[in-house]
Structure 1
């Protein structure tokens, strides 16, 4: 039962994460790819999630969290992001190292320990990558951010979030000085990416980087 409960928590968290920063709902094929599982296994698990009232899903359609599923997902997101923040701020982990550790620990910590971590960290509003940390009541304050790839040339902006899906990209961006709250200007686009002005330097970014950085326009 513990294994099933962990799997349920992982599924709803991934479903929530897919739709958190873009409007498209997730399909079983995309969910299988995100989880690294066979489509048939994911299809069977989605049926169980429907039976538990955590998701709604019509055959060949997209998957959507119910209110109960969203509440569970936000509890897991809160756990994951608080643990990532704790690992970086108190244990000296780099921001590209924390995801896998948090994936394990999020299922093990008690609510009491999590609340203690939250208080000890000063109730942080975001994790090391800029993702908002839900409050204990499930409320979330998300910045009005958009992809760097979508802003016009010459637009001053500030980095609000960087996707943690690619650890090598995180290391590259850190080496270039791109971090949360960095002030930048998108200078010039190309087919390969763009050049930004960052701290007086012209920094080339790949199209993958542009699609992984969210900014708030100044």
Structure 2
């Protein structure tokens, strides 16, 4: 069975291309994991030997079908746990990522199924990321990142990245939440007839329906 370290690698590779098309390189993978590039090189070789990734030296790292299947299992665990912590224990959306990072490696498949059942089999986590179902199927609408949307574009807030808890709190204080209907304006977004000024960096971590 893959180790927690292997699971984390696969999950990061999957997440990197979930909302944009550029594949992940070993140097970017090292930065996201916060470890030395040499360590990443050794682990990528190990993952390749196990048939979980395809990689050529100095090229991007890509998941094989086997690796993607395992990554989706871990993504499902992570996002269900985040949703569970918010819905059942009152966690804020900026508090759940680190907790889920720990719990996703420890709970049993049976408990995960019970959590999914109790929550009513949610399709999205608190940040708008789709939760793969038990078969690995993912539901995702067409999207555009706010930073790349044209002025006047109207859409629904589809997803907010959870990588920066402080920025998540600032976005929430500004009145932006998943599901909010907005129109892109100069200097922010318009919602309910008022223009909302966005915190610095927010446009890079918010996705709208296309």
Indicate the TM-score class for this superposition, using the shorter chain for normalisation: over 0.9
Tell me which residue corresponds to 1:154. 152
* Structure 2 residue matching 1:20: 3-state secondary structure: coil
Structure-2 separation of matches of 1:171 and 1:163: 12
Q: What does residue 205 of structure 2 align with?
A: 212
With the length of structure 1 as denominator, give the TM-score of the two structures: 0.93
What is the alpha-carbon distance in structure 2 between the residues aligned to residue 137 and residue 207 of structure 1?
Answer: 38
Aligned mates of 1:137, 1:12 — CA distance in 2: 17
- In 2: Cα distance, 1:12 partner to 1:126 partner: 20
In 1, Cα distance between the equivalents of 2:8 and 2:150?
A: 37
Q: Shift of residue 198 of structure 1? A: 2.0
Unaligned runs of 5+ residues in structure 2 are none
What is the CA-CA distance between 1:51 and the residue it aligns to? 0.5
Does residue 197 of structure 2 align to residue 199 of structure 1? no
The separation in 2 between residues aligned to 1:207 and 1:94, in whole angstroms, is: 21
CA shift for structure 1 position 199: 2.5
Uncovered stretches (5+) of structure 1, i.e. residues with no partner:
189-193
CA distance in 1, matches of 2:165, 2:173: 13
Aligned CA-pair RMSD: 1.2
Match of 1:164 in 2: 162
Kindly report which structure 2 residues correspond to 1:135-146, keeping only aligned pairs within 5 A, or say none.
135-146=133-144
What residue number does 2:99 align with?
Answer: 101
State the aligned residue count: 210
> Is the contact between residue 159 and residue 178 of structure 2 (CA under 8 Å) also seen in structure 1?
yes
Q: Provide the residue aligned with 1:122 in structure 2.
A: 120
Distance 2:198 2:172 in 1: 12
Q: TM-score, normalised by structure 2?
A: 0.97
